Structure 1
Amino acid sequence: MHAMVMERAGERLKLERIAIPIPGSGELLLKVQACGICRTDLHVVDGELTAPKLPLVPGHQIIGLVQECGQGVIGFQDGDLVGVPWLGGTCGECEYCVSDRENLCNRAIFTGYQRNGGFAEYCTADARFCFSIPEDYLPTQAAPLLCAGLIGYRSLRMAGKGKRLGIYGFGAAAHIVTQVAVWQEREVYAYTREEDTTGQEFARSMGACWAGSALEPPPVELDAAIIFAPAGELVPLALQAVGKGGVVVCGGIYMSNIPSFPYELLWGERSIISVTNLTRRDGEEFLELAPRIPIRTEVQVFPLDQANEALDALRSGWITGAAVLVPDTADV
């Protein structure tokens, strides 16, 4: 099969021919139909996440058709359309796993990081951590739901039930979570880079009631804020924007250093919290909810062999919505 392979951090991915993987016990062999590109993939490829297996096939927002079920697989059969998220496996026995916090497992395995992912024509996945995909979605539309959607959904839950929500960084996750928040009858205030008028217009088209520069004060006092941009300097700005009792949620797996700030920004029972990975319950709840809203994903599709160009576009902020890779062999 063809796959885009990372040999060393900081280098371009290489298009290579490698063996089609064989599913082990409890695993599925999937023919990849689409694989979303996430900012986490950038952090892996650029070396900001420092423990990948090498060589590595990245990609963790995978939509695939089941080609073969390994021994002991329950709940899936050949031909099923399934999704594979970032969380690819856990130990199942630590204090976090047994207390419904498997997202915090210290022995977790991550797709496209410690096991090969979906920048390829085929991949394998632990069936216990795969999801059935709603019939309402094409593979390219569904792919961003597997991380941008799931992390956005978990971030929104962590933000509480306040009506006025600020979102910093309007990319793949933000454009999905905005639709959920608007469906919940919240007001969304979207923040982008000062010059990104295209992103601001996109935010308004997704339902944001206001969009502007991250350097601007909000037109109203916020109840909560979610930061998707990996920029630590946004944390003090978000704290300034939320009222007493407000929460600032850091929704990324990586963020630059947070600068020091006066205690008065935190005082008033404001809080800062990070979102770490996802649980299977998050996935089940969100994928049941998505077609009811219904969530519409905006995608820019790239062929598999243009993965580097897609990563460059995401790194430079040129993607509106989400980028998705499609192998030539996909049944779409």
Structure 2
Amino acid sequence: MKALVLREMCSLNQCPTPLELVDLPVPHPQAGEILIRVAACGICHTELDEIEGRTSPPQFPVVPGHEVVGYVEQLGAGVTVHQLGDRVGVGWIHSSSGDEHENVSPQFQATGRDVNGGYAEYMTAPANYAYPIPDCFRSAEAAPLLCAGAIGYRAVRLTGIQDGQTLGLTGFGGSAHLVLQMVRHQFPNTRVFVFARHPEVQQFALELGAAWAGHTEDRAPEPLDAIIDTTPAWKPVVEGLANLAPGGRLVINAIRKEESDKEALLKLSYHEHLWMEREIKTVANITQFDIREFLPLAAEIPIRPEVATYSLDQANQALVELKQGRIKGAKVLVMEK
């Protein structure tokens, strides 16, 4: 099978082709696993964190990719929850303890980091961590729902927001553009304010229903009850705190933050940014329950991901574009026509 492998960590600024296209044997599903013929796999910022060493794989080479949609090709021993030909999805959580706190369990294993993922024509996954994909989504549309959408769902829950309260979204890429659609459905009286660097991204947010869109360093027209930060940088954390109302909560939805602008934290003022019972909370991974709850909700709304598709041999190009901040919606590798 064709697959992309990461053989070592490197900086995309110095190495724009970190992934190598190779031929690998088709994996065999073990007991409790399924073999998936991959149709599409989303490209997530976490792949950049893996490549550049912020959340490094425990061993090399590894096949990245954790927003996977495909078809059940083979059943391992004991599997009864799926049938051959079923279309299923796999997210960042490959396996864990199985309880409600499995996202922070020492048993947590990540798809495409701790085990081979979906930048390939085939992959295996535990049957209990593969989820039915609603028929209303094309495979390329469904791929970002497995991580960007489901982790956005978790982030919204962690804000504790109520209908009518104000919400900010800092960064408007693969996750935030799905969150905006979800919030408009779940909390119809909530106004959403978007912070993004590029004018075209701000315009995209307004087209999707944002009440206001401005630059990362701008101040919203009113204090915000909650903000979700999906960026890899530190400046949006400081600026986000300055936009919070008293008692507001900033939820940081990122696996890792980059070091390039860490000096922005030196501008943190206790009185301006943290006082008045403002909070910071982080999103740690994802559970199977987040994905199982989110996918039917996404179909009910229905959420419509904005996707740009790439072939397997274009993955490095897509990753460089992601690194450069050239994002409108989500980027997806497509294996089927």
Coarse TM-score class (shorter-chain normalised): over 0.9
Partner of 1:209: 211
Q: Which residue does 1:188 correspond to in 2? A: 192
Shift of 1:51: 3.5
Shift of 1:255: 1.2
2:226: which partner in 1? 224
Q: Match for residue 5 of structure 2?
A: 5
Give 2:294's match in structure 1, choosing from 276, 279, 286.
Answer: 286
Partner of 1:24: 30
Partner Cα distance (2:42, 2:127) in 1: 19
| Residue matched to 1:57 | 63
Aligned Cα root-mean-square deviation (Å): 1.2
Q: Does 1:245 align with 2:247?
A: yes
Distance in 1, matches of 2:123 and 2:93, equals: 15
1:26-54 CA-partner distances (Å, limit 9, x unpaired): 11100000000000011111222123421
Q: Which deviations, in whole Å up to 9, do the C-alpha atoms of 1:195-217 show, x marking residues without a partner?
A: x1111011111111111101111
> In structure 2, what is the Cα distance between the partners aligned to 1:285 and 1:91?
18
In structure 2, the residue corresponding to 1:43 is in which secondary structure?
helix
Alpha-carbon distance in 1 for matches of 2:308, 2:155: 24
Q: C-alpha separation between the residues in 2 aligned to 1:282 and 1:217?
A: 32
**1:262 CA displacement:** 2.2
Sort the Cα spacing of 1:232 and 1:244 in 2 relative to 1 into closer, same or farther, 3 A. same
Name the amino acid aligned to 1:236: V
Q: Are 1:70 and 2:89 matched, yes or no? A: no
Alignment-mate amino acid for residue 119 of structure 1: Y
Counterpart in the other structure of 1:198 = 200
Query: Shift in Å at residue 174 of structure 1?
Result: 0.5
What corresponds to 2:285 in structure 1? 277
Runs of 4+ in 1 over 3 A off after TM superposition: none
Kept in 1: contact 2:56–2:113 (CA 8 A): no
Indicate the SS of the match to 1:172. Answer: coil
The match for 1:46 is 52
The percentage of counterpart residues that share the same residue type is 42
Q: State the SS of the aligned residue for 2:41.
A: strand
1:69-218 matches, within 5 Å, as 69-92=75-98, 97=99, 100-162=100-162, 163-183=165-185, 184-185=187-188, 186-193=190-197, 196-218=198-220
CA distance in 2, matches of 1:181, 1:220: 18
- Unaligned runs of 5+ residues in structure 2 are none
- Aligned mates of 1:286, 1:229 — CA distance in 2: 22
Unaligned runs of 5+ in 1: none
Q: 2:5–2:61: 8 Å Cα contact kept in structure 1?
A: yes
State the shift of 1:300 in Å: 0.2
> Structure 1 length as normaliser, TM-score?
0.94
8 Å contact from structure 1 (residues 245, 269) kept in 2: yes
Q: Deviation string for 1:269-291 (max 9, x for gaps)?
A: 11000001111111111011001
Partner AA of 1:181 in structure 2: V
What amino acid sits opposite 1:274 in the alignment?
A: T
Q: How far, CA to CA, are the matches of 1:324 and 1:210 in structure 2? A: 28
Q: Secondary structure at the match of 1:56?
A: coil
Q: How many residues align?
A: 321
Whole-Å Cα distance in 1 between the matches of residues 327 and 270 of structure 2?
37
Q: Do the aligned partners of 1:300 and 1:319 also contact (CA within 8 Å) in 2? A: no
Look up the match of 2:307. 299
Separation of aligned partners in 1, 2:247 and 2:144: 32
Map of 1:262 onto structure 2: 269
SS in 2 for 1:259: helix
